[in-house]
Structure 1
């Protein structure tokens, strides 16, 4: 099963949706805006990729965090922040089988599928 996590109106998500549909990949979409973040998936993504790669530190959600929260960020803090602000998670977050992938590129998706 393939599950993609993110926000429907995100440009990168739209590119991923288009690629998946054009290539006949069946998937389930988990919308952070409607369904919130999934703590188990976040924990697994952070364990595999590190919080620094799972948390989007270039976006406005990160920039709006208090400085002391950003300066003291660790795995536990990243999970707490992401549960409260799912839009801070790098998008898309793709779970395919037992693997977790971050972001979208046509080349990566071609290799995955």
Structure 2
């Protein structure tokens, strides 16, 4: 089973969940707002993809941060996203050991062999 991490009311997360369901792919969902940001998962994502892929510097939340918080992206990125979960690009899909950030239908179709029905 694949695992999708995000925020339940995020349009992109909903699109990804709907795509997975229509493709017959069983997926769990972890809501950052309701369930928190799992430290071990974020560390894995950062090690696998890097902060540039995981943390959105174009988000409204990023623009609201002060310079001290923005500097934490280099010094304490896990703590930063645990405090500000909206900074994580969504959704984050874990499929085995692979991590994919964002939802692009073509990428999901290639990964899961085909596409949504």
TM-score by length of 2: 0.90
4+ residue stretches of structure 1 with deviation over 6 A?
none
| 1:87 and 2:115 are equivalent in the alignment | no
Find the counterpart in structure 2 of residue 30 from structure 1.
Answer: 30
Residue by residue, what CA displacement relative to the aligned partner does 1:58-103 show, whole Å, maximum 9, x if unpaired? 11111111123324531x4211110111121010000011111100
1:1-113 aligned within 5 A = 1-71=1-71, 73-74=73-74, 76-113=75-112
Residue by residue, what CA displacement relative to the aligned partner does 1:16-50 show, whole Å, maximum 9, x if unpaired? 01111110110100001110101111011101111
SS in 2 for 1:4: strand
Using a 3 Å threshold, how does the CA distance of structure 1 residues 3 and 65 change in structure 2: closer, same or farther? Answer: same
Q: How many residues align?
A: 112
Unaligned runs of 5+ in 1: none
